[in-house]
Chain A
């Protein structure tokens, strides 16, 4: 029985043993991600002329890169971004790990509540979640109204447009991303290990420290890496809760590219953002690795 060529082609694709079903995706990823990154990289080392939104000339130049690396504004901005992202990561670990532990020891309904409360925010717009903090922390917001009514303060506190507002917003917006990988680890955790630990006389804190924590270092590392990347490169939260005068690396890129149309500067800032982010992630990976090794020793 001979079959038509298209049908044979279709069968070949559906058998799925060749690379071929993936070819369209590979082409799209090359054109829309890989080539643009290469171009971004090249623009960081170029002097360009833009006319009506089109790049008309591009010449090699290190001017923008050297200017950026020596510019004090860049130093303070990146320092601020880094501090902010590390603080966010720290608080996300501090609040996220207990949630994961509660997931581990909780009854099925507790687990379900945790899953719903963690996944729902991921499906909600970041702008909406940040906007909520404007309502909560604003001059006539929830916090100020409650404190005024209780007579604890006589005039509204200025919380919004401060660094703390940005940190609070960032922690809340990125907390689910910390919790999810930890929950994944916890749902694979063998509770018999905890029982064995308890039978050997360990307290619950002891079991948490010696059994549960070592086995969840991987999830902790993944979560921390995700939170850091997102909070280091976000611009919604600083833009909305920082009151427009709070510059981090991401808002800087936005202003350079969209407002002042200094594309070479924008490209350089984006490249510095990416490379510094990568360096921190490598340090995180190294720490996670170190942590895992420490726990292997502990398990012996």
Chain B
């Protein structure tokens, strides 16, 4: 009987071991590619070949001295900022209405706002391009920004809504009881309490504005080529560590974003 027990115990350990091993493989798979990109960006040779033959920062120097890339980065930063500002201006009041609203269809509204983010980006991009063409509005940095804001507004609304739902209504009532006007209450009580969520939402919307390709590729201006469009072209046409250096800059940006999210709402609240 004891041998049977041991066999069952052994099988159990083996099963759990396999699962944990798969998890470790998955985690390595998530980490390694980024690490390899960063390592290759320091190579001294003009082509990608593993392992790197030396160490140099030349490629980074080149990235920031190529007008095409610098302009593309600046354009993408602009788009990221526009998208974020639009999402804050439109999304935060919407979150307030969704949570506080006592009108008919408040629930329907909170679903409606999420829809554009569930539609494939490529379909939204094509739809906006065609609609613009029908009314004589061509692709531009503005069309790109408003389309992306529509696409990611859901993230801002959801993050702020999650925070609002946990907010103690007594705090605002106390402020009102003390004679504050609604504006004073909003400015001194509600807004500061919502700020971490707005910041975290802003990180996501900025990154989407900066990195998105599926909507961007159909809506961006021909003169203001954003970084993802430029990057797609150079990845397809060049084989030098320059691409790895541009990529490493973007990985650095992602790390910064990760830091901000971890300090504002905390990483464990990301998918609420």
Residues on A close to B: CB < 8 A?
Answer: 7, 10-11, 13-22, 24-26, 28-29, 32-33, 35-37, 39-40, 43, 50, 53-55, 58, 94-96, 98-99, 101-102, 111-121, 123-136, 138, 140-142, 145-146, 171-172, 175-176, 179-181, 183-184, 187, 203-206, 208, 229-230, 232-236, 239-240, 244, 250, 253-254, 257-258, 263, 266-267, 270, 273-274, 277
Contact = CB atoms under 8 A, between A and B. Distances in A.
A99 B271 contact: no
Nearest to B267: A115
A132 B124 contact: no
A99 to B, nearest CB: 5
A294 to B, nearest CB: 21
Contacts, number: 312
A126 B33 CA distance: 12
Interface string B25-57: 111011111101100100000011111000000
7 contacts: A15-B100, A32-B150, A37-B119, A95-B25, A125-B228, A125-B247, A254-B217
Interface of A is mostly: helix
Contacts of A37: 119, 123, 127
Contacts of B119: 33, 37, 274
B183 A11 contact: yes
Nearest to A102: B23
Given A14-B186, A28-B90, A117-B31, 19 more contacts: A15-B182, A16-B101, A19-B103, A21-B97, A22-B113, A26-B112, A35-B131, A98-B20, A98-B23, A102-B23, A119-B267, A121-B30, A124-B251, A127-B211, A127-B231, A127-B232, A184-B271, A205-B15, A250-B122
A126 B213 CA distance: 8
Size bracket, chain B contacts: 35 or more
A145 B26 contact: no
B268 A187 contact: yes
Interface in B96-137: 96-103, 105-106, 109, 112-113, 115-116, 118-124, 126-131, 133-134, 136
Nearest to B110: A22
Given A11-B183, A180-B271, A121 B126 contact: no
A25 B93 contact: yes
Nearest to A115: B267
Contact of A240 (B16, B236, B255, B258): B236
B213 A236 contact: yes
B254 interface: yes
B198 interface: no
A115 B136 CA distance: 45
Interface in B196-214: 203-204, 207, 210-211, 213-214
A36 B124 contact: yes
Contacts of A119: 258, 261, 267, 270
Nearest to B251: A124
A203 B12 contact: yes
A102 B20 contact: yes
A127 B210 CA distance: 12
Contact of A39 (B98, B101, B127, B211): B127
A36 B271 CA distance: 29
Given A21-B94, A32-B128, A120-B254, A274 B123 contact: yes
Contacts of A270: 122-123, 126-127
Contacts of A179: 26
B109 A142 contact: no
A152 to B, nearest CB: 15
Interface string B209-226: 011011001100000000
B96 A124 contact: no
Contacts of B34: 120-121, 124, 128-129, 132
A274 B266 CA distance: 35
B181 interface: yes
A11 B96 CA distance: 13
A281 to B, nearest CB: 9
A221 to B, nearest CB: 14
Given A13-B93, A29-B116, A120-B254, A135 B244 contact: yes
B19 interface: yes
B263 interface: no
A117 B23 CA distance: 12
Nearest to B97: A22
Residue of A98, A183, A204, A233 with most chain B CB atoms under a 10 A cut-off: A98
Residue of A54, A99, A230 with most chain B CB atoms under a 10 A cut-off: A99
Contact of A277 (B106, B120, B243, B254): B120
Contacts of B81: none
Residue of B32, B120, B130 with most chain A CB atoms under a 10 A cut-off: B130
A117 B27 contact: yes
Nearest to B100: A16
A11 B127 CA distance: 37
A189 B67 CA distance: 52
A22 to B, nearest CB: 4
B89 interface: yes
Which 9 pairs show the lowest CB-CB distances between chains A and B? A132-B33, A21-B93, A233-B120, A16-B100, A36-B127, A36-B131, A22-B97, A98-B23, A95-B26
A125 B182 contact: no
